Amino acid sequence: MGWPGLLGSLAGLAAAGLCVVLLVAWSGIYNVSASRGHWPLVELLLRFGMENSVEAHAPDIVPPRLDDPDLVRLGAAHFHTGCAYCHGAPGSPMSAIARHMLPPPPELTDRVDPWSDQELFWIVKHGFKYTGMPAWTTQERDDEVWALVAFLRHLPRLDPLTYRELALGDVMTERQDGRAIAMTTSGADEACARCHGTEGKGPLSDLVPRLHGQPAAMLERALRAYASGERPSGIMKPIATALSPRAKQQVADYYASLAVPPPRTQAEASEAGRRLATEGDATAEIPACLSCHDAQALAIYPRLAGQNAPYMANQLRALQRGSGEGSATRAIMAPIARRLSERQIVELSAWFASLPATP
């Protein structure tokens, strides 16, 4: 049989196979209910295809430092509300509802190691079709995705106590009587303080902004921008969306009223950062930062004195990429951020972080 005959035979087999698939789909013989598992052959093919798809599409990039404690803490806080319901966590079994999904979400304590860092990143960012595993809420925030990957690398080594300390910090659910349990829905899972701290204590991660003493108008505006998607964040969008307009105002007023706690880490002041913040750089068309961000500025602008340096640097880099330009204030900042060099970003962030906060 020559090549034409062989190709004709293969085409015929492919057509016959397609007809069989269409016939099975048309007949309804294949049970698609979640109460019944897949046929073993279908299960094998789906698993084989999934693993090869992840391997083929995972990006060939160098991950950040996944042992960075700030990155791990940020990932832990999001895992607790965004992932633990389906996948479980140390000391907290997965939801009984999730166990009856098809396929059921895996418990991740022993399922992380086989994947490379890049493959985990791709899975977290893009999710899986037909599994209930969602894509990251916004595709613009790779920095947030890496935070979750960093936490997943630590997850297999955590016991319930260390997990709770990473994910919840000092936030505790108060003891409730039977009526309170029956009548309320709020708890530690929903608390802003898990990431941002509360009275006398700031965030556990320096990648999280210090909200204490910031203008209430700015905080409320940021929550509205997160909820609408004008300001992209896969971590903040679900939380801000769930808050009513009144709740947004209340939480903004609460953090605006708090005294600023001392920083977790002390940044070293940079003279180059001071000059850029106070005088700007006319040749590069960079205005003085303090013209908008000092204590007397409009209430829609954040005060930067005493803010966490890693958080500020991350925000400036995100602005350089055009992230969040749908927000009016960030649209003002984006062109300025693009004129900054990486060195200037680091110097500015360090100088502002070294200052005492001025609410």
Which pLDDT score is estimated for 316? 94
Q: Which amino acid is at 214?
A: Q
Supply the DSSP string of 183-195, one letter for each residue: H----GGG-THHH
Which pLDDT score is estimated for 185? 53
Per-residue pLDDT tens listing for the chain (359 residues): 566 666 666 777 778 878 877 887 787 777 878 888 888 888 888 888 889 999 999 999 899 999 999 999 999 999 998 899 899 999 888 888 888 888 889 888 888 889 999 999 999 999 998 888 999 999 989 999 999 999 999 999 999 999 998 988 777 655 555 555 555 555 554 578 888 988 888 898 999 999 999 999 999 999 999 999 999 999 999 999 988 999 999 999 999 999 988 887 777 778 889 999 999 998 989 999 999 898 888 899 999 999 999 999 999 999 998 877 778 888 889 999 999 999 999 999 999 999 988 76
CA distance linking residue 206 with residue 279, whole number of Å: 27
- Residue closest to 147 by CA, chosen among 72, 41, 52, 45: 72
CA distance linking residue 153 with residue 112, whole number of Å: 7
Strand partners, 281: 286
Neighbours of 149 (CB within 10 A): 25
> Any residues with CB less than 8 A from the CB of 219 and at least 6 apart, and which?
211, 251, 252, 255, 256
CA 344 vs. chain centroid, Å, equals: 26
DSSP helix/strand/coil, 270: coil
Strand partners, 92: 89
Cβ 348 vs Cβ 310: under 8 Å: no
CA distance linking residue 209 with residue 263, whole number of Å: 11
CA distance linking residue 354 with residue 236, whole number of Å: 27
DSSP H/E element including 216: helix 216-228
CA distance linking residue 21 with residue 24, whole number of Å: 5
Which pLDDT score is estimated for 29? 78
Which pLDDT score is estimated for 110? 81
Burial of 323 (0-12, 13-18, 19+ CB in 10 A): buried
Which pLDDT score is estimated for 287? 93
